[in-house]
Amino acid sequence: MDGPVASTSKSLWKGKGKGRDSGRDESLLSNSNRSLPKQDDWVPPTQSLKKYVYAKPNMADKNFLKQKAIPDKKLAHHLQALTSAAKTSSLKAFEHDDLLLSHSNQGLIETETDLERTWKVGQQEIVDGSAIGVAGKAFSLKLDEFGPYALDYTRNGRHLAIAGRKGHVATFDWHSGRLHTELHLRETVRSIKWLHDESFFAVAQKKYVYIYDKAGLEVHQLRDHIEVNQMEFLPYHFLLATIGNAGYLKYQDTSTGQLVAEHRTKLGSCQTMAQNPHNAFIHLGHQNGTVSLWSPSVSKAQVQLQAHRGPVVSIALDPSTMGNRMVTAGLDGTVKVWDTRKWAVLNEFHFKKTPASAAFSQKGLLGLGWGNHISVFNDLQKPGQNPRMSPPPYMTHTFPGVPVSNVKFCPFDDVLGVGHSTGITSLVIPGAGEPNFDSLEADPYEGKRRRREREVNQLLDKVPFDLITLDTDLLGKLDRKTAAPSETENQDKPGWKDTPFSQKTRLDRLKVKGEAVEEEDESSGEEDEDEERRKARREERVEKADAKKRARGRNSTLKKMLRKRRRNVVDPQTVALKEKLSRARDATKKAKLNAMAARSAASGTAGALDRFTFK
C-alpha cells in the first residue's frame, strides 16, 4: 500500500519548485505512511434488513437454504442466486435509507423527567417551542353555518378538501393557503374524497356522487352510486369504492369510467368504510357489529368478523405495519386492535364514550375523535395492559362544546386535521408524519411538469382490479391446487370430472390399470356387526331421501289434487278423493302392522314392544 502511493506522490512533486528535499517530502507526504481507513465491515442485523426484502421475507434468513438439502442441483443453484440477489438488494436499500434519509427533525415528544406527561402539552407550547414554519401548520377555520365537516387530504399531503354537511365544499392548498375552489351545493353532502391527485375530487351528495375538477366544474354525475355515505379511492387501481344506505358496495374505475363491480352486502345501511393501503381491500363496518372485507372480483365478503356487540362506528388501518393492524371502534365504547393475518384481537380497550372517528398516521399513531375532544395514542400494542383502564393518550386537544365528526392525519406531515361542527382545525402532533417522502410515489413539492408525468405513469402502471388479493404475495406463488389435486374429492358430486389418465399420479394410474398392489391390511378383513348394521342403515336413509323412491308406494298425487281444490268446498269429487286417500292410508298402515308382526314372529321378541325396535 505504501509503495505505489509514495511513488505517485513523489512524481507529483517532481517539477514543483526548487529546494524541496526528500526529507521534507516525506513529512509533507506523511499521509503516505497512513493506510486508508478500513472499509466498514459492519453488516446490519437481519431484522432491519428483512424490512427491505421486497421478495419473500424469509429469503433474508441465513438458514433459508440450509433447512432442506435440495437434490436438484439446478434448482439449488437457482435458489442460491435468488437469495443472494435478495440479500444484496436489501443491503443496498438499507444503506441508501440509512445514509441518505434525514432523521434529524422528526420524532415524538420526549419527556425529560418522570413527572412530565406528554398529553399535557398543548398546541401553543408546541408552536412556541418549534421553528417559525410550524406556526403555519396549526390553524383553524371557523365555518359555523354549514354543519359538521368531513375532510380529506391528497396522497402527498399538500391539498385539503373540506365538505360541510349542508353543502359547503372547499378545496385549497393548505401549505400556501391558496384556495382552489369553493362550492355551495345547497344539498346534503355526506363525504368528500380526492381522486388520484388534486385535479379531481368526488363528492357524495344527497342522491348521487359527483366528480368535480380542480376549478370546481362538475365533470361527472355518477348515477349508479345512490345515497352514498362513505367513499374510498384506491390509488394504484384507480377505483372509487362507495357504500351507501342501500348497502351496495360499488367500485367505479375513474380512468375508464366503467362500473367495475357492485356487491350486495345484505347487511343494511353502512356508515363506516376503511381501505387497507397494502392490499387494497375495503373494510366495512356494519350495524350488527360485523366487519366485512371486500374486493372487486369476489361478490361475497372474503372475511367477516364479529367485531363488536353493537354497531361498528369506525375502522382504521395502520399503514406503517404493512397492513397488519386494524383498529375498530364500536358504539359500546370498545376499541379493539386486531391483527389482520391471524384475525385475532391483540388489545381491547373500553372507553366511557363512543369514539366518533378513528385514523392512523403514517408512523402508527392512532387518532380518535370523541364528543368534544380528540386523543392521539402512541403505543396501543403493549400487551398486558388492563382492558378496564383506558391507556394513557400521547396527546389530546379539546374542542369545548363542539362535537368532532371526522379526523384525518396529513401524509408526510406532523398534522392532524379535525372536522367538527363549526369548521376544521389543524393540529400539530409531533412524530405523526413520515419525514422522508419518495418523489416517485407522492411528492408535496411537485411542480407542473412532474405532476403531469406522474399522472401518465400512474395510468400506465394501473393494476387491473382482479389482482387485488388478500395475500399480497399471491402473485408469483406456486398454485398448489393444480400442482397436486386433492385426493379427497367427492366423486358423487354432480359435475365431477376425473383427471385425465396422463395427469394422474403414478399410484392412481396403476390403480386404473389394475396393477396397484394393495397392502394387506388385517383389520380390513373382519367387519364389525355394528358396522354392518350402521352401513345398512345409512344406505337405507340415502335410499329414502332419493326422490324417485319416495314417490313410489306413496300416492302423493291424491294429496296434490286435494290441495289444489279449495278446502272449504265440498263437492262429490272432493268427497270421493278424500275417501280414496283414507283407504290408501289404512292400507299402508295395515301393511306396516303386518310387516312388524311378521318380523316379531320371526325374531321371537314380545309383540307389544315391537313398536320400539328399529326398522
Tell me if 203 contacts another protein by CB under 8 A. Answer: no
Within 13 A of 505's CA, how many CA atoms are on the CB side?
9
Nearest partner of 29 among 9, 3, 2, 8, judged by Cα: 9
Instruction: Rank residues 123 and 372 by Cβ distance to another protein and give the closer one.
Output: 123
Q: Facing residues of 200 across strands? A: 213
Tell me if 282 contacts another protein by CB under 8 A. Answer: no
Tell me if 58 contacts another protein by CB under 8 A. Answer: no
Pairwise CA distance, residues 486 & 344, whole Å = 29
Backbone angles phi, psi at 117, to 5 degrees: -125, 140
Q: Which helix (H) or strand (E) holds 327?
A: strand 325-330
Residues 316, 360: contact at Cβ < 8 Å? yes
Q: Interface with another protein by CB under 8 A: which range of 19-27, 306-314, 342-350, 435-443?
A: 435-443
Tell me if 137 contacts another protein by CB under 8 A. Answer: yes
Q: How far is the CB of 194 from another protein (least distance, A)?
A: 18
Q: Which amino acid is at 565?
A: R
Q: How far is the CB of 463 from another protein (least distance, A)?
A: 4
Backbone angles phi, psi at 519, to 5 degrees: -75, 135
Using CB under 8 A, which of 440, 478, 483, 609 touches another protein?
440
Instruction: Rank residues 236 and 351 by Cβ distance to another protein and give the closer one.
Output: 236
Using CB under 8 A, which of 13, 64, 236, 351 touches another protein?
236
Using CB under 8 A, which of 32, 49, 52, 253 touches another protein?
52
Q: How far is the CB of 491 from another protein (least distance, A)?
A: 35
Tell me if 319 contacts another protein by CB under 8 A. Answer: yes
DSSP state of 333: S
Using CB under 8 A, which of 2, 125, 224, 546 touches another protein?
125
Instruction: Rank residues 51 and 166 by Cβ distance to another protein and give the closer one.
Output: 51
Within 13 A of 388's CA, how many CA atoms are on the CB side?
0
Tell me if 436 contacts another protein by CB under 8 A. Answer: yes
Instruction: Rank residues 91 and 581 by Cβ distance to another protein and give the closer one.
Output: 91
Using CB under 8 A, which of 21, 41, 145, 438 touches another protein?
438
Cβ neighbors of 85 (< 8 A, separation 6 or more) are none
Residue owning grid cell 360499488: 250
Residues 291, 272: contact at Cβ < 8 Å? no
Tell me if 278 contacts another protein by CB under 8 A. Answer: yes
Helix (H, G, I), strand (E, B) or coil at 405: strand
Instruction: Rank residues 106 and 245 by Cβ distance to another protein and give the closer one.
Output: 106
Q: Interface with another protein by CB under 8 A: which range of 241-249, 290-298, 439-447, 571-579?
A: 439-447
Nearest partner of 330 among 351, 346, 345, judged by Cα: 351
Q: Binders of another protein among 402-431, rule CB under 8 A?
A: 413-414, 428, 430-431
Q: How far is the CB of 432 from another protein (least distance, A)?
A: 8
Tell me if 443 contacts another protein by CB under 8 A. Answer: yes
Q: How far is the CB of 347 from another protein (least distance, A)?
A: 21
Cβ neighbours around 377 below 10 Å, total: 23
Tell me if 341 contacts another protein by CB under 8 A. Answer: no
Pairwise CA distance, residues 237 & 234, whole Å = 6
Q: How far is the CB of 126 from another protein (least distance, A)?
A: 6
Q: How far is the CB of 277 from another protein (least distance, A)?
A: 6
Tell me if 464 contacts another protein by CB under 8 A. Answer: yes
Cβ neighbors of 503 (< 8 A, separation 6 or more) are none
Using CB under 8 A, which of 147, 370, 437, 454 touches another protein?
437
Q: Binders of another protein among 89-118, rule CB under 8 A?
A: 93, 96-97, 100-101, 105-107, 109-112, 116, 118
Instruction: Rank residues 53 and 203 by Cβ distance to another protein and give the closer one.
Output: 53
Q: How far is the CB of 362 from another protein (least distance, A)?
A: 8
Tell me if 435 contacts another protein by CB under 8 A. Answer: yes
Using CB under 8 A, which of 35, 439, 582, 594 touches another protein?
439
Q: How far is the CB of 111 from another protein (least distance, A)?
A: 6
Total binding residues for another protein by CB under 8 A? Answer: 65
Residues 201, 192: contact at Cβ < 8 Å? yes
Radius of gyration of the chain (CA): 37
Pairwise CA distance, residues 265 & 248, whole Å = 6
Helix (H, G, I), strand (E, B) or coil at 88: helix
Using CB under 8 A, which of 77, 350, 450, 559 touches another protein?
450
Tell me if 472 contacts another protein by CB under 8 A. Answer: yes
Q: How far is the CB of 240 from another protein (least distance, A)?
A: 17
Q: How far is the CB of 106 from another protein (least distance, A)?
A: 5
Using CB under 8 A, which of 35, 46, 80, 445 touches another protein?
445
Q: Facing residues of 178 across strands? A: 173
Residues 376, 429: contact at Cβ < 8 Å? yes
Tell me if 121 contacts another protein by CB under 8 A. Answer: yes
Q: Is the dihedral of CA 566, 571, 575, 577 positive or negative?
A: negative
Nearest partner of 70 among 83, 52, 51, judged by Cα: 83
Query: What DSSP string describes 203-271?
Result: EEESSSEEEEETTS-EEEEETTS-SEEEEEEETTTTEEEEEETT-EEEEEETTT--EEEEEE--S----
Tell me if 343 contacts another protein by CB under 8 A. Answer: no
Nearest partner of 247 among 227, 261, 232, 233, judged by Cα: 227
C-alpha cell at 551: 314417490
Q: Which amino acid is at 138?
A: A
String of b and e for 200-225 (b: at least 16 CB within 10 Å)? bbbbbbeebbbbbbeeeeeebebeeb
Q: How far is the CB of 413 from another protein (least distance, A)?
A: 6
Q: How far is the CB of 419 from another protein (least distance, A)?
A: 22
Tell me if 134 contacts another protein by CB under 8 A. Answer: yes
Pairwise CA distance, residues 290 & 315, whole Å = 11
Applying CB under 8 A, the residues found at the interface with another protein are 51-52, 54, 93, 96-97, 100-101, 105-107, 109-112, 116, 118, 121, 125-126, 129-131, 133-134, 137, 236, 277-280, 319-320, 322-323, 413-414, 428, 430-431, 433-441, 443-447, 450, 460-464, 467, 472-473, 475-476
